[in-house]
């Protein structure tokens, strides 16, 4: 199977700081792949590098056979990639509906109503709050909106950066369930960055462990979950 997304030898810098030191990651169509790692490992940097902000200094990012390493962010995001980024980044002075319209900016307007109904079916909470301003939503609602907004562009590859961060256990469970649904029912490939290794590895087909800007381990989700090193570093004494 050829990879939908192939990241090879990617090095990314912030000024002189090398945040990614030669990263190789592959995601095949239809998969859920997760990247776990400690704070500051470079997980968010990897997702942002895929989107060209910042761009990789070395190496390449290939999406559906097309080199996107040097393309401007807005062009990359028009190719079928969407991201719900770290910190959610909801537009605070726009309503829920307007945030969703922003998500749909690259897709044909004729799909808008249908797509809104779809994301409202996934997140009924957003439907109730559609006129509310993004900035006044609760953290969980903002996370739902961030995912919903990403879905509005009809992506084939969805990048999710710590969707469970700061949410109550019940909501976390819901969010992970939604990710599975999106993957299975809407056939969206998912690359998921998580601190919540337990949940993430259970959900994912495959996973990568990132330490200090490098991939140190990779394997099937269940395999990594059973790995003693992974257990020691990311699971025991951590989240359950």
Partner 1 sequence: MEYFTQQLINGLTLGSIYGLIAIGYTMVYGIIGMINFAHGDVYMIGAFQAMIVFLICGALGLTWVPLQLALMLIMAVIFTAAYGWSVERLAYRPLRGSPRLAPLISAIGMSIVLSNYVQLAQGPRPKPIPPVIRGGFQIMESDAGFVVQLGYLQIVIILLTVALMAIFAYLIAKTPLGRAQRACEQDMKMASLLGVNVDRTISLTFVMGAALAAVAGMMVTLYWGVNEFAMGFVAGIKAFTAAVLGGIGSLPGAMLGGILIGLIEAMWSAYFSTEYKDVAAFGILVLVLIFRPTGLLGRPEVEKV
The CB-of-126 to ligand ATP minimum distance in angstroms stands at 25
CB of 14 or CB of 113, closer to ligand ATP: 14
Per CB under 5 A, does 26 bind Mg ion?
no
Q: How far is 79 from 159, CA to CA, in rounded Å?
A: 13
From the list 43-51, 96-104, 128-136, 214-222, the region that binds Mg ion by CB under 5 A is 43-51
From the list 33-41, 62-70, 76-84, 198-206, the region that binds partner 1 by CB under 8 A is 76-84
From the list 28-36, 55-63, 87-95, 194-202, the region that binds partner 1 by CB under 8 A is 87-95
Q: Cα dihedral sign for 174, 175, 180, 185?
A: positive
Residues 97-126 that bind Mg ion (CB under 5 A): none
CB of 89 or CB of 214, closer to partner 1: 89
Number of residues that bind partner 1 (CB under 8 A): 27
Determine the distance from the C-alpha atom of residue 189 to the mean position of all C-alpha atoms in its chain, rounded to a whole number.
10
Are 50 and 81 in contact by the 8 Å Cβ rule? The answer is yes
**Residue 37 binding partner per list ligand ATP, Mg ion, partner 1, none, with a CB distance cut-off of 5 to 8 Å that depends on partner kind:** ligand ATP
**Residue 39 binding partner per list ligand ATP, partner 1, Mg ion, none, with a CB distance cut-off of 5 to 8 Å that depends on partner kind:** ligand ATP
Per CB under 5 A, does 86 bind Mg ion?
yes
| 17, β-bridge pairs | 14
> Is the peptide bond preceding residue 54 cis, with omega within 30 degrees of 0?
yes
Q: Which parts of 2-137 are beta strand (E)? A: 3-14, 17-28, 32-37, 58-63, 66-67, 81-84
Q: How far is 84 from 75, CA to CA, in rounded Å?
A: 17
Kindly tell me which residue out of 8, 44, 60, 106 binds partner 1, with binding defined by CB under 8 A. Answer: 106
Task: Give kind and range of the element (H or E) at residue 39.
Answer: none
Kindly list the residues in this chain that would bind ligand ATP in the complex (CB under 6 A).
14, 17, 19, 37, 39-45, 86, 195
Q: Give backbone dihedrals phi and psi of 5, rounded to 5 degrees, phi first.
A: -125, 125
Per CB under 5 A, does 130 bind Mg ion?
no
């Amino acid at each position: 199977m050829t990879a939908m997304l192939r990241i090879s030898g990617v090095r990314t810098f912030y000024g002189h700081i090398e945040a990614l030191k030669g990263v190789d990651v592959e995601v095949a169509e239809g998969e859920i792949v997760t990247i776990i790692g400690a704070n500051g490992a470079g997980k968010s940097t990897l997702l942002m590098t895929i989107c060209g902000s910042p761009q990789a200094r070395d190496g390449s990012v290939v999406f559906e056979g097309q080199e996107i390493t040097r393309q401007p962010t807005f062009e990359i995001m028009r190719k079928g990639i969407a991201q719900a980024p770290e910190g959610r980044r909801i537009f605070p002075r726009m309503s829920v509906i307007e945030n969703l319209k922003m998500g749909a900016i690259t897709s044909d307007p004729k799909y808008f109503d249908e797509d809104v109904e779809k994301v409202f079916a996934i997140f009924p909470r957003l439907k109730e709050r559609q006129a509310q301003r993004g900035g006044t939503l609760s953290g969980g609602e903002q996370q739902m909106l961030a995912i919903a907004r990403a879905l509005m562009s009809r992506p084939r590859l969805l990048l999710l950066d710590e969707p469970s961060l700061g949410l109550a256990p019940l909501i976390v469970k819901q969010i992970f369930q939604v990710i599975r649904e999106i993957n299975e029912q809407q056939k969206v490939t998912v690359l998921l960055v998580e601190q919540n290794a337990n949940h993430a590895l259970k959900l994912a087909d495959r996973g990568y462990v990132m330490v200090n800007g490098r991939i140190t381990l990779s394997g099937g989700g269940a395999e990594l979950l059973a790995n003693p090193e992974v257990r020691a570093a990311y699971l025991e004494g951590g989240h359950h």
